[in-house]
Amino acid sequence: MTAPLINAAQLAAAEALAAYLAGGGDAPTEIFAKLSFEDGLAIQCEMQRRAVAAGAIHVGWKVGLTSDRARIAVGVDERPFGHLNRVLASPAVIPSSEIRHASIEPELCFVIGDRIAGHDVDPAAVPARIAKVCAGFEINEARVTVGGCIALLVADNLTNWAAVQGSGALVPPATELDRCIVTVTCDGEERLACTAGDEVDNPYLSIACLAATLHRYGLALEPGQRVITGAYARFRVEAGQRWQARYAGIGDVEAVIA
pLDDT of residue 4: 57
Strand 160-169, strand 130-141: pairing: antiparallel
Would you state the pLDDT for residue 27?
82
pLDDT (mean) for 224-251 = 97
Reference 176, options 231, 209, 127, 224; nearest CA is: 127
C-alpha triplet 198, 111, 58: angle, nearest 5°: 110
Of 253, 255, 198, give the one whose Cα is nearest residue 230: 198
User: Is the model's pLDDT at 123 over the cut of 90?
Assistant: yes
Residue that wins the pLDDT comparison between 117 and 28: 117
Within-domain flag for 21: no
Q: What is the pTM of this model?
A: 0.95
Q: In which band, very low, low, confident or very high, does the pLDDT at 2 lie, cut at 50, 70 and 90? A: very low
pLDDT for the residue numbered 76: 86
CA–centroid distance for 204 within its chain: 15
Rounded to an integer, the average pLDDT of 33-56 is 96
* 26: pLDDT strictly greater than 90: no
Largest CA distance in the chain: 51
Domain annotation covers residue 101: yes
What average pLDDT does range 238-258 have in this prediction?
98
* pLDDT on residue 1: 40
| Residues 6 or more apart whose Cβ sits within 8 Å of residue 65 | 71, 74, 76, 78, 79, 80
pLDDT at 108 over 70: yes
Contacts 24+ apart (CB under 8 A), 72-78: 74/148, 74/150, 74/153, 75/150, 76/37, 76/150, 78/37, 78/213
3-state secondary structure of 199: helix
Average pLDDT over residues 28-33: 92
User: What is the tens place of the pLDDT at every residue in 64-88?
Assistant: 999 998 999 888 899 999 999 999 9
pLDDT of residue 74: 85
CATH of the domain at 199: 3.90.850.10
Domain-located, residue 91: yes
Burial of 37 (0-12, 13-18, 19+ CB in 10 A): middle
Q: Is residue 133 part of a domain?
A: yes
3-state SS of 119-187? CCCCHHHCHHHEEEEEEEEEEEECCCCCCCCHHHHHHCHHHEEEEEEEEEECCCCHHHHHHCEEEEEEC
73-80, Cβ contacts within 8 angstroms, sequence gap of 24 or more: 74/148, 74/150, 74/153, 75/150, 76/37, 76/150, 78/37, 78/213, 79/206, 79/209, 79/210, 79/213, 80/37, 80/40, 80/41, 80/154, 80/158, 80/213
Does a structural domain hold residue 237? yes
Number of domains in the chain: 1
Average of per-residue pLDDT values in the chain? 95
Q: What is the pLDDT of residues 149-200, one digit of tens each?
A: 999 999 999 999 999 999 998 899 999 999 999 999 999 999 999 999 999 9
Q: Does 5 reside within a domain?
A: no
When pLDDT is averaged across residues 111-128 and rounded to a whole number, the result is 98
**Domain boundaries, position 248:** 58-257
The percentage of the chain sitting over the pLDDT mark of 70, rounded to a whole number, equals: 98
The verdict on residue 16 lying in a domain is no
